[in-house]
């Protein structure tokens, strides 16, 4: 079990585990949606940003979108916010590229869930390993990772 799964079980939050075959060439969330057979807007990727002050913020958003840094900076009041370099991802989060969950990171970071999630009955997020996804209601994910739901795309 991953940390993300343990957290959901401990909090008694309903979810499903979905697995798929992955490969090194396609670790992105859009590829995950193809493998899962669901729409890209239902699969959420986790983007970790450094705040320029030694801290980090986590953004969870649909596969085909990108973090609008102007909106994200305004939302967080961190004006040097920038995506974390992939080489630092495991050190900061405990997760690897293609298997980064918004739940169960090494440290607790301010987390933001894209408001578009409110349009979906269920979304898919990484369970903390490549090829392993969690199917969950957006409101349950927000509760589980104490996320602020906001528009940042």
Give the pTM: 0.95
**Residue whose tokens read 């992105």:** 28
The token pair that represents 73 in the structure block: 């900076």
pLDDT the model gives residue 25: 75
Give φ, ψ of 127 to 5 degrees: -90, 0
Q: Kindly state the greatest CA–CA separation across the chain.
A: 40
pLDDT the model gives residue 22: 77
pLDDT the model gives residue 21: 84
Structural domains present in the chain: 3-150 (3.90.960.10)
DSSP secondary structure letters along 111-133:
EEEEGGGGG-S-EEEEEEETTEE
Number of neighbouring beta carbons within 10 Å of residue 106: 12
Check whether 107 has a pLDDT greater than 80: yes
pLDDT the model gives residue 35: 87
Average pLDDT, the chain: 95
Check whether 29 has a pLDDT greater than 90: no
Rounded mean pLDDT of 76-82? Answer: 96
């Amino acid at each position: 079990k991953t940390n993300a799964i343990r957290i959901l079980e401990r909090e008694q939050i309903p979810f499903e585990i979905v697995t798929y075959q992955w490969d090194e060439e396609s670790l992105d969330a859009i590829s995950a949606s193809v493998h899962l057979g669901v729409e890209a807007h239902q699969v959420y990727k986790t983007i970790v940003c450094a705040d320029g002050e030694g801290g980090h913020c986590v953004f969870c958003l649909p596969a085909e979108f990108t973090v609008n840094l102007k909106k994200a900076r305004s939302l967080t009041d961190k004006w040097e916010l920038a995506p974390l370099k992939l080489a630092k991802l495991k050190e900061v989060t405990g997760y690897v590229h293609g298997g980064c969950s918004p739940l169960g990171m090494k440290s607790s970071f301010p987390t933001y869930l894209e408001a578009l999630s409110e349009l979906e009955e269920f979304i898919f997020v990484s369970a903390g390993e490549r090829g392993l996804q969690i199917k969950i209601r957006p409101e349950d994910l927000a509760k589980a990772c104490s996320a602020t739901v906001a528009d940042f795309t």
